[in-house]
Amino acid sequence: MTPVGIEKIGVYPCSLALSLPALCEARHRRADDICAPMMLEERSLNPLWEDPVTMAVNAANAILTDDDRRRIELLVVATESGVDFEKPISTWVQRYAGLSANCRNFEVKHACYGGTAGTQMAASWLASSAPEGAKALVVTTDQSRAHFGKPWEFVLGAGAAAVVLSREPALLEIELGRCGYWTNEIADLTRPTATVETGNSETSLVSYLDALDGAYEHFVQRVPEARQFDDYFHRHVYHMPFGGMAWRAHKTMLRTARDVSPRDAWTNFERKGLAALRYARRMGATYSSSTFIGLLSLIDGTPDAAAGERVSIFSYGSGCCAEFYCGRIGADAHRAARGAGVAWRLDARRAVTVDEYQAIEQQRLAWAECGDYDVPRDALGDWYDRGYRGRGLLVFDGMTDFYRQYAWS
């Protein structure tokens, strides 16, 4: 069978960063009690002139070539931060990323699982009925809503990932059919209105671990040799609502096969999965982008990861659905990971104070149901001029009669 999988991934990590220790101080919490167990240092934040559409487009344009644009015939945008209840983000991405008009496109919603659903659909299309030379683009884009003073405020974030899939999987060859999935209707987290994001975080964490167990059990029914978890997989990527959750998940998986001490479990995680948290530590929750950013981080942060090594990937979405699948590191994976330039993009963000962060989110809330407004460019001093002007990034201009306005910086 012709190999199918991920050719490259682009990431847009937003242009603002909020220090977690600073947020802890403002909320009268000890940073050591939050940052260490959550494995977080910063969280990404959008200025008022960015939204899920601009993040999606800017992530895609960071990696697409003119040849990619001609060959992409399937576009899937996964988000739980949709900006319209009817019009899909995918049509804006098709337009502003310069894709062909002959491009099947749609938006999919399934909490943090949506990107994996889109990726599996795209991979199956490439393996079955896609025309010769065709490619697929899956874009994941999300931002947190305001949660001032809530316990989970510390783990929120924003970001987008653009995943190009083809029959030339330089980054990761997906092992088609080697997957397990598990679903259970549950009201753990939800976004019932245009401004509310709520639920029970403890219920969600328990559901995550139940889903991990269920999806893995389904996987080993199909791939019995994977029961030897530590031997079968060389590397691991887990969905990360926060970095510390990946560590909890890995401990759980190791203990399904044998007794293991906390010290040995940590040593194993350091060697096989910790590098996947490097970017997540600085971005916070990236929702459906989490596993793709984690995969880039794992490869870029593990110089000895070799082509052909098998990587397990676990994706979880509230509500809920989960999938455990795997792939093999591609022959050009390290070059593809370096080419994404995530580290320097993170370094290039502007640090914001807690007061600036609160002002941004309060203004965004105030506009949530407004149909006419202009977005000011001076809300963060000269940041627009320094970080955007002349760089050709898509920016959000505001609303005119409820239609969103976009422009190039």
Domain shared by 127 and 275, yes or no: no
pLDDT digit string, tens, across residues 213-223: 999 999 999 99
Indicate if 163 and 180 belong to the same structural domain. Answer: no
Can 80 be counted among the known catalytic residues? yes
Query: How confident is the model over 227-254, as a mean pLDDT?
Result: 96
* Catalytic status, residue 24: no
Residues 6+ apart with CB under 8 A from 147: 153, 156, 197
How much is the average pLDDT of 128-138?
A: 96
Asked if the structure places residue 335 within a domain, the reply is: no
Q: What is the mean pLDDT of residues 275-284?
A: 97
Same domain, 26 and 104: yes
Catalytic residue among 80, 168, 173, 197: 80
Q: How far apart are CA 292 and CA 10, in angstroms?
A: 9
pLDDT confidence band for 58 (50 / 70 / 90): very high
Q: Residue 41 above 90 pLDDT?
A: yes
pLDDT of 169 reads 98
Q: What pLDDT sits at residue 256?
A: 80
| pLDDT of 367 strictly over 80 | yes
Is residue 337 in a domain? Answer: no
| Active-site entry in 14, 35, 112, 320 | 112
Residues 235 and 360 in one domain: no
Alpha-carbon distance of 380 to 372, in angstroms, equals 22
Within-domain flag for 209 = yes
| pLDDT (tens digit per residue) in 254-269 | 988 778 899 999 999 9
**Same domain as 394, residue 368:** yes
The letter for the amino acid at 257 is A
What pLDDT does residue 259 have? 83
Q: Quick count: other Cβ atoms within 10 Å of Cβ 56?
A: 28
Is residue 146 domain-shared with residue 285, that is, in the same domain?
no
Q: Residue 176's pLDDT is what?
A: 97
d(CA 76, CA 198): 26
Q: Is residue 107 annotated as a catalytic residue, yes or no?
A: no
Residues 131 and 200 in one domain: no
From 330, 362, 394, give the residue that closes a domain. Answer: 330
> pLDDT category, 198, cuts 50, 70, 90?
confident
Structure tokens at 93: 């991405």
61: tokens are 């344009």
Is residue 231 one of the residues assigned to a domain? yes
pLDDT at 125: 98
Q: Domain boundary residue among 308, 330, 352?
A: 330
pLDDT above 90 for 286: yes
Of residues 296, 373, 309, 400, the one with CA closest to residue 340: 296
Same domain? For 40 and 117 the reply is yes
Same domain, 158 and 197: no
Full domain range(s) for residue 282: 175-330
- pLDDT of residue 62 exceeding 90, the answer is yes
Question: Rounded to an integer, what distance in angstroms lies between the CA atom of residue 371 and that of residue 398?
Answer: 9
Q: Which of 110, 234, 239, 334 is catalytic?
A: 239
Let me know if residue 309 belongs to a domain.
yes
Residue with more model confidence, 198 or 155? 155
* Domain contains 35: yes
CATH number of the domain where residue 110 is located: 3.40.47.10
* pLDDT for res 160: 98
The residue out of 309, 330, 351 marking a domain boundary is 330
> 10 Å Cβ neighbour count for 141?
35
Q: Are residues 223 and 292 in the same domain?
A: yes
Other beta carbons less than 10 A from residue 2's beta carbon: 8
Residue 175 and residue 304 in contact, taking contact as beta carbons nearer than 8 Å: no
Does residue 320 have a cis bond before it (omega within 30 degrees)?
yes
pLDDT tens by residue, 292-334: 999 999 999 999 999 999 999 999 999 999 999 999 999 999 9
What is the count of structural domains for the chain?
2
**Global confidence as pTM:** 0.97
State the average pLDDT over residues 228-247. Answer: 96
Q: In the predicted model, what is the mean pLDDT of residues 381-397?
A: 97
User: Does residue 101 carry a pLDDT above 80?
Assistant: yes
pLDDT at position 102 over 90 = yes
Report the pLDDT value the prediction gives residue 189, as an integer from 0 to 100. Answer: 87
Q: Indicate whether 336 belongs to any domain.
A: no
Residues 236, 202, single domain; the answer is yes
**Partners of 107 in beta bridges:** 77
Question: What is the band of 280 on the pLDDT scale with cuts at 50, 70, 90?
Answer: very high
201: exposed, middle or buried (Cβ count in 10 Å: 0-12, 13-18, 19+) = middle
pLDDT at 338 over 90: yes
Same domain, 149 and 185: no
pLDDT of 199: 83
For residue 152, the model assigns a pLDDT of 87
